[in-house]
Structure 1
Amino acid sequence: MTLLALDIGGTKFAAAHLDADGTLLRRAERPIGPSPSGTLAALVADFHDPGLTAIGIGTAGPVDVRAETVSPVNIPQWRDFPLAGAVRRLVPGVEVVLAGDGQCMALGEWWRGGHGVDSLLGIVVSTGVGGGLILGGRPVLGGTGNAGHIGHVIVDRDGEPCPCGARGCLETLASGPAMVRWALANGWTPAGDLAVTADNAAVQGPVTARGPVTAKDLADAARAGDAIPLAAFERAADALAVAVLNTAAVVDLHDVVIGGGVAAAGGLLIDPLREHLAKHAGMDFLRHITVSPTALSRDAGLYGAAALALLATGVTPRPTARGPAPDPS
């Protein structure tokens, strides 16, 4: 059995062949380019295999799994784009299944991340904040496919407006661009930059004369001991803790896995998150939440998409040891 996993991101598309045990056999990625549909077609053609059993797709959202459409914020050419149908036309007769990238990250970590748990919450902290739920060994997608979207849990009713239309969503405090905006507004000056000259907050965040100010810039400054970037990570961790505890109180889970570009800051985010979880937890069952970084890094979504494909064939994946580091080629 050969599975094809597709990971549709905001700047690149990735694909991989995996077997039913979750062994990654081959991997490749391509920048989106000027024609996302053309890039998708070329990538799928490159991975077409006569023995292909099923295709799983993890994609940036918003996602509607009932209509099988996507509207990724960073791909303006795709609005209500019938992604699953487009892939079916490229590979007729092969089962195709679709889910959000946060859900695939959670599913991949549960299946091949070596965490050894039955249920977990996966959180992707990056340009936005996404997530996914695994309960009882199966992904929980919800009616529209957006279950586990922790980025839009409201953590501050009087907080900033969110692009989603609500106010005070987790994403307005803990996403990379939100953290950078807060730090700049509170007096942080990135090294080597005279001033922030523009604000492309919806996609990239604040921009200086040398280009976008990123969460990596913020993390570098925090590691150097700059108080304002450190406070930005502390603030984001506090908001994340509130959202995690709210989620855990509803579904009674204890294991949280953090991934995404901002989470690459490691202890700058995870250490204060653990502290705030301990500080805010009330009920006994909320006092034992464990937080760990992603074990599969950027490939968690590919493993999850493959697990989604396996589920579509009627086979339930079983958690196994951590997947081998893939060949980056």
Structure 2
Amino acid sequence: MTTDLVAAVDIGGTKIAGALVDGTGDLLHRVQLPTPAGESADRVMAALTEVLGGLTRHASWSRVAAVGIGSAGPVDARTGTVSPVNIPGWRDFPLVEGVRATTGELPVTLVGDGAAIAAGEHWRGAARGRSDVLCMVVSTGVGGGLITDGRLRPGPTGNAGHIGHISVDFNGDLCPCGGRGCVERIASGTNIARYALAAGWRPADPEGDTTAAGVAVAARDGHPLALEAFDRSARALAAGIAATATLIEIETVVIGGGVSQSGEVLFAPLRRALREYATLPFVRDLEVVPAQLGTDAGLVGAAAACWSDPGTFLAVGAAGN
């Protein structure tokens, strides 16, 4: 029997997605549900189980050799547990155990969602062929993952590169993670909208979009408060990126997630701010590029994390990871 597929799972504060992924990174079958993030642990797990059920019922399930999970973090790959900041019902939640109740004894690789996206972009996206990369997702939260010496480096617990919870303002707002002045608390889409609304911005249409996407539209039209909200986000991102690059000498930053869809509204002030923060010679020429895999990055990356984990398995057709 051929076992050449991975069942990939991408768990975030907004959606839970699953897919069957082959050794070239193509998604053969995809299932997605909204994340009931404000509800109980059991309710969130029930949504995940429904997604997994949509995979196990597919005709190709017999070809699945492993399960890869990229979850909002922090995660603990050693214990198989997760405590996502944006899913308060899950604290030290036994995620791997819960997944195995549906998928059986297949080997499971668990990494943070940022690490999964890094693996995906390195395999099939903007980081392909690059050796030292920070991949970031700027969305409901801010996450990240690291490629160093051409390999995914998730760290012992699967959280390495979690740039969203680097503090860039020691007098800043309290973050849900318990820290203060975190990149995420300033730069995420949620907090771009929060800042703009608190400063007095409103969409031109009273029924208009008050999320970060709506702020981005206003920023493109030159609204000063919307521009200020994105500039503030960009400066927080730049400070976190510069600190990371100084520590581990990355050469490229790949940025994805919903907020990255704002394009130059985000990237232009980010590149300007980096010139202020990344000043040492070995970080001065950081390249910043948009991610290429879009909403499927986490799923492709969860599969790639499986194939890069020698403790899991080596899939047929996975050469080139």
Q: Give the TM interval when normalised to the shorter protein.
A: 0.7 to 0.9
Name the CA distance, whole Å, in 2 between partners of 1:106 and 1:40: 23
Q: Is 1:214 equivalent to 2:214 in the alignment?
A: no
Kept in 2, the 8 Å contact 1:110–1:319? The answer is no
Amino acid at match of 2:71: T
Match of 1:53 among 58, 62, 65: 65
Gaps of at least 5 residues in structure 1 are: 194-209, 321-329
Letter in 2 for 1:309: C
Distance (whole Å) between structure 2 residues aligned to residue 50 and residue 112 of structure 1? 25
Contact 1:112 1:319 in 2 (8 A): no
Cα contact 2:171–2:181 (8 A) shared by 1: yes
Aligned with 1:82 (options 79, 94, 97): 94
In the alignment, structure 2 segments of 5+ residues that lack a partner are: none
For 2:27, give the aligned amino acid.
L
* Residues 292-307 of structure 1 mapped to structure 2, 5 A cutoff: 292-307=289-304
SS at match of 2:62: coil
The separation in 2 between residues aligned to 1:189 and 1:31, in whole angstroms, is 27
Q: Which residue does 1:225 correspond to in 2?
A: 222
Q: 1:258 to 1:275 in 2, by over 3 A?
A: same
SS at match of 2:282: helix
Aligned to 1:201: none
Deviation of 1:114 after TM superposition, in Å, equals 4.5
- Please, which of 265, 278, 300 is the counterpart of residue 281 of structure 1? 278
Query: Counterparts of 2:230 and 2:209 in 1: how far apart (Å)?
Result: 19
Indicate whether 1:66 and 2:78 are aligned. Answer: yes
Q: Which residue of 2 aligns with 1:19?
A: 22
Distance 1:286 1:11 in 2: 34
Deviations, residues 221-262 of structure 1 (Å, cap 9, x unaligned)? 111110111111112111211110110111111111111111
Alignment of 1:245 onto 2:242: yes
Partner of 1:203 in structure 2? Answer: none
Q: Residue in 1 aligned with 2:118? A: 106
Shift of 1:191: 2.5
TM-score (norm: length of structure 2): 0.87
Q: Distance in 1 between matches of 2:185 and 2:78?
A: 28
Residue aligning to 2:12: 9
Structure 1 residues 252, 85: CA separation in 2 closer, same or farther (over 3 Å shift)? same
Q: CA RMSD in A?
A: 2.2
Deviation at 1:90, TM superposition (A): 1.6
For the residues of structure 2 that align with 1:41 and 1:269, how far apart are their CA atoms?
A: 36
Normalising by structure 1, what TM-score? 0.85
Q: Which residue of 2 aligns with 1:167?
A: 180
Equivalence for 2:166: 153
Contact 2:8 2:299 (8 Å CA) reproduced? yes
Partners in 2 of 1:279 and 1:73 — Cα distance?
30
Report sequence identity in percent. 48
Indicate the residue corresponding to 1:176 in structure 2.
189
**Segment of structure 1 superposing worse, 58-67 or 147-156:** 58-67
Per-residue CA shift, 1:200-232, capped at 9, x if unaligned?
xxxxxxxxxx69831011111111110111111
Which residue in 2 is equivalent to 1:202? none
1:263-278 matches, within 5 Å, as: 263-278=260-275
Matched, 1:31 2:39: no
Alpha-carbon distance, 1:152 to partner: 1.3
8 Å CA contact 2:203–2:209 kept in 1: the answer is no
CA distance, structure 2, for counterparts of residue 68 and residue 254 of structure 1: 32
Q: Give the one of 233, 236, 254 matched to 2:233.
A: 236
- Deviation, 1:15, is 1.1
**SS in structure 1 opposite 2:20?**
strand
Residue-pair matches, total: 304
Paired residues of 1:54 and 1:310 also in contact (CA < 8 A): no
Residues 4-39 of structure 1, C-alpha deviation per residue, up to 9 Å, x if partnerless?
111112232211111223232222212346733233
